Protein backbone atom coordinates (compact mmCIF):
# COMPACT_ATOMS: atom_id res chain seq x y z
CA UNK A 1 0.00 0.00 0.00
CA UNK A 2 2.90 2.35 -0.55
CA UNK A 3 0.85 4.20 -3.17
CA UNK A 4 -1.91 5.00 -0.68
CA UNK A 5 0.61 6.41 1.81
CA UNK A 6 1.81 8.77 -0.88
CA UNK A 7 -1.77 9.77 -1.63
CA UNK A 8 -2.42 10.65 2.01
CA UNK A 9 0.65 12.88 2.10
CA UNK A 10 -0.38 14.53 -1.15
CA UNK A 11 -3.94 15.07 0.10
CA UNK A 12 -2.69 17.19 2.98
CA UNK A 13 -0.33 19.09 0.73
CA UNK A 14 -2.76 19.78 -2.11
CA UNK A 15 -6.18 19.50 -0.42
CA UNK A 16 -6.85 16.66 -2.82
CA UNK A 17 -10.39 15.57 -3.58
CA UNK A 18 -11.63 12.20 -4.77
CA UNK A 19 -14.16 11.84 -7.57
CA UNK A 20 -16.13 9.34 -9.62
CA UNK A 21 -16.79 10.13 -13.25
CA UNK A 22 -19.48 8.09 -15.03
CA UNK A 23 -18.21 7.41 -18.55
CA UNK A 24 -18.73 4.55 -21.01
CA UNK A 25 -15.70 2.28 -21.41
CA UNK A 26 -15.06 3.33 -25.02
CA UNK A 27 -14.76 6.97 -23.93
CA UNK A 28 -12.51 5.99 -21.00
CA UNK A 29 -10.19 4.32 -23.53
CA UNK A 30 -10.08 7.53 -25.60
CA UNK A 31 -9.23 9.52 -22.47
CA UNK A 32 -6.44 7.12 -21.53
CA UNK A 33 -4.98 7.23 -25.05
CA UNK A 34 -5.10 11.04 -25.12
CA UNK A 35 -4.20 11.61 -21.45
CA UNK A 36 -7.32 13.69 -20.78
CA UNK A 37 -10.47 13.71 -18.68
CA UNK A 38 -13.86 14.74 -19.99
CA UNK A 39 -17.15 14.91 -18.08
CA UNK A 40 -20.82 15.49 -18.81
CA UNK A 41 -20.47 14.84 -22.54
CA UNK A 42 -17.77 17.50 -22.84
CA UNK A 43 -19.35 20.25 -20.72
CA UNK A 44 -16.98 22.77 -19.13
CA UNK A 45 -18.87 23.21 -15.83
CA UNK A 46 -18.18 19.77 -14.30
CA UNK A 47 -14.46 20.12 -15.04
CA UNK A 48 -14.34 23.40 -13.11
CA UNK A 49 -14.92 21.41 -9.89
CA UNK A 50 -11.58 19.62 -10.35
CA UNK A 51 -8.17 20.84 -9.20
CA UNK A 52 -4.67 19.75 -10.13
CA UNK A 53 -3.82 16.64 -8.11
CA UNK A 54 -7.42 15.44 -7.66
CA UNK A 55 -7.96 11.73 -8.24
CA UNK A 56 -10.77 10.30 -10.37
CA UNK A 57 -12.24 6.81 -10.55
CA UNK A 58 -14.08 6.04 -13.77
CA UNK A 59 -17.29 4.05 -13.51
CA UNK A 60 -18.53 2.61 -16.81
CA UNK A 61 -22.15 1.48 -16.83
CA UNK A 62 -21.81 0.33 -20.46
CA UNK A 63 -19.14 -0.58 -22.99
CA UNK A 64 -20.28 2.23 -25.33
CA UNK A 65 -22.31 5.37 -24.76
CA UNK A 66 -25.52 4.65 -26.64
CA UNK A 67 -25.85 1.01 -27.56
CA UNK A 68 -23.10 -0.60 -25.54
CA UNK A 69 -23.42 -3.77 -23.53
CA UNK A 70 -24.09 -3.57 -19.80
CA UNK A 71 -20.75 -3.40 -17.93
CA UNK A 72 -21.14 -1.87 -14.42
CA UNK A 73 -17.41 -1.72 -13.66
CA UNK A 74 -14.82 0.70 -12.43
CA UNK A 75 -12.60 0.94 -15.50
CA UNK A 76 -9.82 3.47 -14.82
CA UNK A 77 -8.12 5.78 -12.36
CA UNK A 78 -6.59 9.13 -13.26
CA UNK A 79 -5.07 12.17 -11.60
CA UNK A 80 -5.77 15.70 -12.85
CA UNK A 81 -2.44 17.01 -14.17
CA UNK A 82 -2.96 20.78 -14.06
CA UNK A 83 -5.56 23.54 -13.77
CA UNK A 84 -6.08 24.16 -17.49
CA UNK A 85 -9.46 23.48 -19.11
CA UNK A 86 -9.36 23.47 -22.89
CA UNK A 87 -11.76 22.85 -25.76
CA UNK A 88 -11.09 20.51 -28.68
CA UNK A 89 -12.80 20.86 -32.02
CA UNK A 90 -13.99 17.50 -33.32
CA UNK A 91 -15.99 16.47 -36.39
CA UNK A 92 -19.78 16.98 -36.43
CA UNK A 93 -19.47 20.43 -34.75
CA UNK A 94 -18.63 18.87 -31.40
CA UNK A 95 -16.30 20.91 -29.19
CA UNK A 96 -15.82 19.12 -25.83
CA UNK A 97 -13.91 20.57 -22.89
CA UNK A 98 -11.11 18.55 -21.33
CA UNK A 99 -8.49 18.46 -18.58
CA UNK A 100 -5.03 16.90 -18.85
CA UNK A 101 -4.67 13.76 -16.74
CA UNK A 102 -2.29 10.97 -15.87
CA UNK A 103 -3.79 7.47 -15.84
CA UNK A 104 -2.65 4.67 -13.55
CA UNK A 105 -2.40 0.93 -14.13
CA UNK A 106 -5.33 -0.95 -12.64
CA UNK A 107 -7.73 -3.81 -13.24
CA UNK A 108 -11.35 -3.28 -14.17
CA UNK A 109 -13.53 -4.19 -11.21
CA UNK A 110 -17.23 -4.99 -10.95
CA UNK A 111 -19.13 -2.62 -8.72
CA UNK A 112 -21.80 -4.96 -7.31
CA UNK A 113 -19.50 -6.90 -4.92
CA UNK A 114 -18.20 -3.57 -3.56
CA UNK A 115 -21.59 -1.98 -2.83
CA UNK A 116 -21.92 -3.11 0.82
CA UNK A 117 -18.65 -1.34 1.72
CA UNK A 118 -19.25 1.96 -0.12
CA UNK A 119 -20.44 4.67 2.27
CA UNK A 120 -21.35 7.15 -0.47
CA UNK A 121 -24.08 4.79 -1.71
CA UNK A 122 -26.86 5.20 0.84
CA UNK A 123 -29.51 3.12 -0.95
CA UNK A 124 -27.92 -0.23 -1.76
CA UNK A 125 -31.00 -1.32 -3.75
CA UNK A 126 -31.19 1.70 -6.10
CA UNK A 127 -27.44 2.26 -6.14
CA UNK A 128 -27.24 3.19 -9.84
CA UNK A 129 -29.18 6.44 -9.45
CA UNK A 130 -26.21 8.36 -8.04
CA UNK A 131 -24.10 7.62 -11.12
CA UNK A 132 -26.54 9.52 -13.34
CA UNK A 133 -25.00 12.74 -11.96
CA UNK A 134 -21.82 12.06 -13.94
CA UNK A 135 -18.99 13.58 -11.92
CA UNK A 136 -19.35 13.56 -8.12
CA UNK A 137 -17.11 13.66 -5.08
CA UNK A 138 -16.64 10.67 -2.76
CA UNK A 139 -14.91 10.15 0.60
CA UNK A 140 -11.22 9.26 0.63
CA UNK A 141 -11.93 5.97 2.45
CA UNK A 142 -14.26 4.81 -0.33
CA UNK A 143 -11.74 5.87 -2.96
CA UNK A 144 -8.96 3.91 -1.25
CA UNK A 145 -11.18 0.82 -0.94
CA UNK A 146 -12.03 0.86 -4.65
CA UNK A 147 -8.38 1.48 -5.63
CA UNK A 148 -7.35 -1.51 -3.54
CA UNK A 149 -9.99 -3.69 -5.22
CA UNK A 150 -8.76 -2.51 -8.64
CA UNK A 151 -5.21 -3.58 -7.71
CA UNK A 152 -4.00 -0.15 -8.78
CA UNK A 153 -0.44 1.10 -8.79
CA UNK A 154 -0.66 4.80 -7.91
CA UNK A 155 2.96 5.41 -6.90
The CATH number covering residue 140 comes to: 3.10.590.10
What pLDDT is stored for residue 75 in this prediction?
98
- Average pLDDT of each block of 10 consecutive residues along the chain (155 residues)? 48 78 97 97 95 98 93 98 93 88 98 98 93 95 98 87
Is residue 54 in a domain?
yes
What pLDDT is stored for residue 7 in this prediction?
52
Host domain of residue 120: 2-149
Is residue 71 in a domain?
yes
Is residue 70 in a domain?
yes
Structure confidence by residue, pLDDT tens digits, 5-44: 445 554 445 589 999 999 999 999 999 999 999 999 899 9
Domain count across the chain: 1
DSSP the chain: -HHHHHHHHHHHHHT--EEEEE--HHHHHHHHHHTEE--GGG-HHHHTT--TT-EEEEEEEESSTTTPPEEEEEEEEEEEEEEEEEE--BTTTB--EEEEEEE-B---EESGGGGGG-TT---SSSGGGGGGGSEEEE-HHHHHHHHHHTT-B--
Is residue 154 in a domain?
no
What pLDDT is stored for residue 3 in this prediction?
52
Is residue 155 in a domain?
no
Amino acid sequence: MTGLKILRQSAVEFMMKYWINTVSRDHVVLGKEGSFVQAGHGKKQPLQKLSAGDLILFYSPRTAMEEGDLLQRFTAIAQVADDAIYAVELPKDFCPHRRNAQYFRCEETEIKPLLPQLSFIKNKTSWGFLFRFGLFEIPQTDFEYIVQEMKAKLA
